[in-house]
Every structure is written in structure tokens, then in C-alpha cells.
Amino acid sequence: MRRIVVSSDHAGFELKQVLKEFLQEQGYQVEDVGTCSTEPVDYPEFTKMACERVASGEFSRGIIFCGTGQGDAMVANKIPGIRAALCWDTFTAELSRAHNDSNVLVLGGWLIGRWLAREIIRVWLATPFDGGRHERRIRQMMAIEHHAHLHYRKVYDVSLTVAPGMAVWPGDPAVSIEAAKSITSGNTGNISMLHMGSHTGTHVDAPRHFLPSGTGIDAIDPSVLLGRARVFQLPKVQYVDRALLEGLDLQGVKRAVLGTRNSALQKQKRLNLDYAYISNDAAQYLVELGVKLVGIDYLSIEEYQKEGHPTHMALLGAGLVIVEGLDLTDVPPGDYEILCLPLKIKDGDGAPARVLLREL
């Protein structure tokens, strides 16, 4: 059965109730996300719910009922992937489909009657997209949308600042930054000499870190380091084990980023050995799920001085990318685009990285 999602505010509620019956008569299974009465509500929340169901691909089309429809059309077209058309006759409905491939129809109940609304819906549902020259224009439209969202989406820099005196793993080189050349000494420019370990601050572990024949940081597939990631905030856990992960929504997740109480420790200059870590059974579970990248907010993903390094061995041995030393303070849980860019060091066992999380 064909499916369609509908929503309304209080002004469009009565028209929605009538037209739902018409849609069912046309063979549609109708999903109504509200509102459920004529009591005054704020329309943006209901429009957003309906449009997100279309944008996600769960529904191919949606219909929104309002007073004039103006506000709802404005809200709908803020949702990436939505092409909402406010229609007031069958002609505008037909062209919104044929020329613009609209996937959401907005109707103003104060402006059109039930009969006209029914005809508009009938034409809108029956009209296919013409394609051709209009296909090119739709691509241009979506490119504008994509560019705008790249520009305006909030970006979280979850990388630690590399500085002398910062906490490093016991036995690793301390950070020093010295002037090799300086303008004040008569040179034409400033050049610094850096001295630090390859696992300083925010960094990526390569298989070579614990596997003698493992690949180096320069051989990691860049596509794993970029893409959709899910952030989980687990501020009260002592450690992350399989049982905890089984309670999280990891279905389909390829990049998991775990925020813990560790983020609050990151500003300390001395390493705190009582940090949250990932247990071996949790690592095995991530491998079973097909996760490709896992990040955590401290210098090691493993329990301190754990014999045999089973968490690292399980993850690196399966080809997972490990990102350590993240600062996830104030990053809300949810889905993001991760951009993780480690230094490309030949055969490197690891490398410092700049890691960003960008809102979807």
C-alpha cells in the first residue's frame, strides 16, 4: 500500500481530518504526526516532524494543512531535501510536480474549500515529474541548498590544543615548541621546532602501533576518517563494556564517538589514571557490529596498564581506526559529520590529528 505522511496546526486540523479520509479512499496509508485537535499550537514543530519523515526517505511525499499555508511552507523548505509547494489551485499543483518535483504539498484551509483541496491533492498525487531541463534546475536548486548548509552548520572542534606542559602518556616525550627562526632575531619569518610523540593530544592510532606488521598511518583509508558519526554522551560510566553498548542505538553506525567523564579531565596537565575506557568485550562487540571508527575522550581507549592490550589488539587487528584524546565537552549527543585529519607520516604508528564534528 502507498504511504503518505500528513500534519497540521490547529487552523488546518479540520481540513486535514476530512482529507485523510479522501487519501485513504485513494489507497493511501496515512501517517498523521499531529496536531490532534483545534487547540492552538505552534505549527513549526509539526511541520518539521512531517518533513523530516519525507527527507529521511521513510515517506516519498507529505501533505501539510495550515490556515494560509505561508508559515508552513517557509518551515518546510528549511528542511534539507524538502521541496514544499504552497498550492491554491490545480494548475499550481500540477506544475509544482511536473516542473519542480515537489515532495511536500502545503494547503491553506482558510483560503480553499474542501472540494478544491481534494482536487488539488488528486492532481498533485497523479502528476509525475517531467525531468528533462527541469532535472538540471532541480540539481542546481539542491546544490544551492547543500552549499548553504555546509556554510551555516555548526562545527565543533573536538581537538586538544598542543602546548608545552600538556598531559602525555607516561614515558612519552613531553611537548616542547622552540623557535628555530624568529623575526626578532633578524630572520624573515618565524619557524618553530616541535618535539612531541606521535600519540600526543588528539591523535589516531594506526595498526602498526601494536601490530609489528600492521599498516602505518599513511595507509589508512581516508574515507573512514570522514563521514557520518554518532556521538554518545556517557558521563557517569566508569568504563564502557559490551552490556552498556548493547543498550545504545548502534544500528547501522559506522563511526562511534564516546563522550565520558574523561572530557572534564582533559584540561588537567597531569594524566589522571582513573579514566573511563573501553573493555575488551566492548571492543569485540564493535567489531561484530561492523563499526569502522571509534573515538574516545582520553589519551587511551584501553584500561591503564592492561596486560596484552586486548582492546587495542581487537580493534586494530580488525582494521578499526582508533581516535583518542578527543574533547567532547558541550557536544550534544546525536549524529554529526566527522572530519578527522591525522598527519600523513610514512609508516607512522600514529599521528596527531585535527578532528571536527559538523552538524548534519
* Residues with active-site annotation: 66, 99
Look up residue 116 and give its three cell numbers: 478544491
Among candidate residues 320, 323, 310, the one with its CA nearest the CA of residue 350: 323
State CA 108 to chain mean position distance: 34
Please state, in angstroms and rounded to a whole number, the distance separating the CA atoms of residues 207 and 1.
Answer: 49
Q: Which of 40, 64, 42, 41 is nearest to 52 (CA)?
A: 64
In angstroms, the CA 204 to CA 355 distance is 10
CA 208 to CA 341: how far, in whole Å? Answer: 18
Q: How far apart are CA 253 and CA 201, in angstroms?
A: 25
Q: Is 144 exposed, middle or buried (0-12, 13-18, 19+ CB in 10 A)?
A: exposed
Grid-cell match 558541550, residue found: 330
- Residue found under cell 592510532: 205
Question: Rounded distance, CA 87 to CA 96, Å?
Answer: 8
| CA 147 – CA 16 distance, rounded (Å) | 35
State the chain's maximal CA–CA distance in angstroms: 84
Helix axes 114-126, 13-25, angle to 10 degrees: 50
- Determine the Cα–Cα distance for residues 93 and 206; give it in Å rounded to an integer: 56
CA distance 313 to 311: 5
Whats the size of the chain, residue-wise?
360
Report the candidate in 65, 142, 52 with the shortest Cα–Cα distance to residue 100. 142
